[in-house]
Amino acid sequence: MSQSNIRPELQEELRSAIVEPLLPIEKKLIAWSLGIGLTLLVVLAAINHMFPPTP
Amino acid sequence: MSNATLTGLGPHTAAEPAARLNEAKSFNEDWLAVILGLAIFGLALAGLVRIDLIGWVVSTSVWSNLGQALGPVSKNYAAIGGIGALLATYVALTIVLSAGAAALKSDVKRFALAFTAVFWIAYASWIVGNYANFAAVTLADQQKFGITWSLKLTNEGAYIFALIVGLFIANFLPRFADAIKDAVRPELYIKIAIVILGGFIAVTASGKLSFASSLLLRGVAAIVEAYLIYWAVVYFIARKWLGFSREWSAPLAAGISICGISAAIAIGGAIRARPVVPALVSSLVLVFSVIELLILPFAAQTWLAHEPLVAGAWMGLAVKTDGAAVAAGGITESLILAKNAAEGIHYQPGWILGTAVTIKVFIDIFIGVWAFILGYIWTNHINVTRDAEKTRAREIWERFPKFIIGFVITFFVGLYLVLGTPADIASKVPPAIGEANTFRVIFFILTFFSIGVLSNFKALWREGLGKLAFVYFVSIFGFVIWVGLAISYIFFHGITPPLAS
């Protein structure tokens, strides 16, 4: 595909794309990622606080 | 690993997903970086038996008299002088990298010609950047060079000169940029540098092993943040607020949150996106990494000079390509060490850079795992495919950034040599690795210059990627940078590098 063909198609595609609603699986992915991530961060921060690095 | 350019399709990005996976399986830039990095490291270790194989490599000092700028890194080769060392370095790198280009099935003659231009322009920029009025830091240095003012950028600030020259070429001499593109390979150069850096970090860490290992725990937090928090938030912003399709949002979120080019391509392949999607995302990543590289190290010096490891971790978390993140770590270290030295505090070098590199390497390790997870979800639940096209667990290995193997090898070999050998051998390890480190500096220079040459801001605008760029801007400057700073502060606040002896 030549570069000159890509650009107009992509510009049009990005401008006028039909909105795809979030699927239940996507919502689960986002929610679980954030949930596990924030929980793990709290746990790691607690470990960090209890076991500070030894200089 | 792709060398994405802002024309949209770099040398390796036009392949269909299956072909891209084949490239991941076969000999690629990652494996070449492992081989070349290990070769340089191995040659340097000949110094342990008093054979100096690479002491001829050129080293540049801060200068006010150009005749004193260059010299071979080892006194054993003093006879060849600075110009001799520079020529020897150019010839050796051209031969070795051209052989690498041949192994990657590139046009060797085109590569060698292009590399000639890349090497000489990049190194000339480095020499200029080391001029005393740009690089000298302390008053004592300024007096030594007989100057009354200096920009105090430190000698590593000269990397910025190479970057700016590259940016000039990309944006004002695009035909020349296109002519040298075969040798404009920032990801290859930084991966070789990272493999070499493993040994350097091992020597640095060996003196304070328990301290170093406790820093690793903090690196785990970086993985959690990048994959589970950053990716989810950016994906949500792209999908819900800006209405991007899944095909665009997943690679975009990966590029913004994980590791720029590598992650965008890995995730794009995993979800079976069209090749042009991660290619264009990669272009954006590069441009924004350049902007971060020009701003964040100086911001870190201004506000985090007394929290040096917070600064190092911040670079690893906030700057989103391997090249730019490691480069940012190097500049940040140089700037912060200089500022503290001016106040009489002399930190041991290597810790800030090492923190940035370790954080980035930790993040890179899990690209394959995340690609597998998303690929599984996409091929089984979103765009359900035939069994033959479903994601397989072996893709975790196929997408694993192989250059990390080289980094791990040089790290553990270096650590063993310093801690597990008799004192007469162990004492020779730091100077031997120091010579290899000179090559690391040269590959950094090539990386900075190459990043600049790939960053054609005008082409990006012409592509009509305004909406993509907007997501990137909002995500990076509205979220990633500040959360990265907060996480870095939580885990690294109050921890300072050991003082130099």
Q: Which domain holds residue A27?
A: 20-55
pLDDT greater than 70 at residue B37: yes
**pLDDT tier at A54 (50, 70, 90 boundaries)?**
low
Q: Is residue A10 part of a domain?
A: no
Interface test mutation site (partner A, options B225, B227, B239, max chain A beta carbons within 10 A) = B239
Q: Is residue A1 part of a domain?
A: no
pLDDT greater than 60 at residue B449: yes
Q: Do the beta carbons of residue A53 and residue B214 sit within 8 Å? A: yes
Q: Is B499 helix (H, G, I), strand (E, B) or coil?
A: strand
**pLDDT tier at B325 (50, 70, 90 boundaries)?**
confident
Confidence (pLDDT) at B222 = 75
Question: DSSP state, B197?
Answer: H
Please give the helix or strand (H or E) that residue B354 lies within, else none: helix B351-365
Ranking A21-30, A39-48, B32-41 by mean pLDDT, the lowest is A39-48
B310/B76 Cα distance (integer angstroms): 39
Q: Is residue A4 part of a domain?
A: no
Confidence (pLDDT) at B389 = 58
Q: How many residues does chain A have?
A: 55
Q: What's the domain count of chain A?
A: 1
Q: Is residue A43 part of a domain?
A: yes
| Residue given tokens 């007394």 in the structure block | B306
Two structure tokens written together for B107 = 């046009």
Two structure tokens written together for B403 = 């250059």
Find, among B244, B247, B239, B287, the residue nearest to B264 by Cα: B247
Confidence (pLDDT) at B327 = 86
**pLDDT tier at A17 (50, 70, 90 boundaries)?**
low
Calculate the dihedral angle through the C-alpha atoms of A11, A15, A18, A24, rounding to the nearest 10 degrees.
90
Interface test mutation site (partner A, options B16, B178, B215, B240, max chain A beta carbons within 10 A) = B240
Share of chain B above pLDDT 70, in %: 92
**Interface contacts A/B by beta carbons within 8 Å:** 110
pLDDT greater than 90 at residue B395: no
Between B390 and B97, residue with greater pLDDT: B97
Confidence (pLDDT) at B394 = 75
pLDDT greater than 90 at residue B87: yes
pTM, two decimal places? 0.80
User: Hey, CA dihedral for B318, B322, B323, B328, is it positive or negative?
Assistant: positive
Confidence (pLDDT) at B299 = 95
**pLDDT tier at B92 (50, 70, 90 boundaries)?**
very high
Two structure tokens written together for B356 = 């940035």
pLDDT greater than 70 at residue B97: yes
Q: Shortest CB distance from A20 goes to which of B8, B246, B465?
A: B246
| Contact assignment for B224 to A14 by CB distance below 8 Å | no
Q: Is residue A6 part of a domain?
A: no
| Contact assignment for B214 to A20 by CB distance below 8 Å | no
Strands, E assignment, B12-102? 58-60, 70-72
Q: Mind telling me how many Å the CA of A45 is from chain B's nearest CA?
A: 7
| Contact assignment for B229 to A37 by CB distance below 8 Å | yes
Q: Shortest CB distance from B218 goes to which of A29, A30, A48?
A: A48
Q: What DSSP string runs through B230-275?
A: IHHHHHHIIIIIS---HHHHHHHHHIIIIIHHHHHHHHHHHTT--T
Find, among A3, A31, A13, A15, the residue nearest to B273 by Cα: A13
B454/B118 Cα distance (integer angstroms): 12
- Which residue in B has a C-alpha nearest to residue A33's C-alpha? B228
Q: Does A50 contact B at CB distance below 8 Å?
A: no
Q: Do the beta carbons of residue B150 and residue B137 sit within 8 Å? A: yes
pLDDT greater than 60 at residue B4: no
Q: Does A48 contact B at CB distance below 8 Å?
A: yes
Two structure tokens written together for B484 = 């990265």
| Contact assignment for A7 to B225 by CB distance below 8 Å | no
Listed by number, the residues of chain A in 2-31 with a beta carbon closer than 8 Å to a beta carbon of chain B are 3, 6-7, 10-11, 14-15, 17, 19-20, 22-23, 25-26, 29-30
Ranking B112-116, B217-221, B421-425 by mean pLDDT, the lowest is B217-221
**DSSP β-bridge partners for residue B70:** B60
Q: Is residue A40 part of a domain?
A: yes
Q: Is residue A14 part of a domain?
A: no
Mean pLDDT along residues B7-16: 32
Q: Which residues from A are below 8 Å from B214, CB to CB?
A: 51-54
Q: Is residue A32 part of a domain?
A: yes
- Residues ≥6 apart with Cβ < 8 Å to B459: B6, B7, B174
Q: Mind telling me how many Å the CA of B221 is from chain A's nearest CA?
A: 6
Residue B501 burial (C-beta neighbours within 10 Å; 0-12, 13-18, 19+): exposed
Give, in order, the Cα–Cα distances in Å from B136 to each of B35, B59, B126, B160: 36, 17, 14, 15
**DSSP β-bridge partners for residue B71:** B59
Q: Which residues from A are below 8 Å from B229, CB to CB?
A: 33-34, 37-38, 41
Interface test mutation site (partner A, options B213, B223, B463, B483, max chain A beta carbons within 10 A) = B463
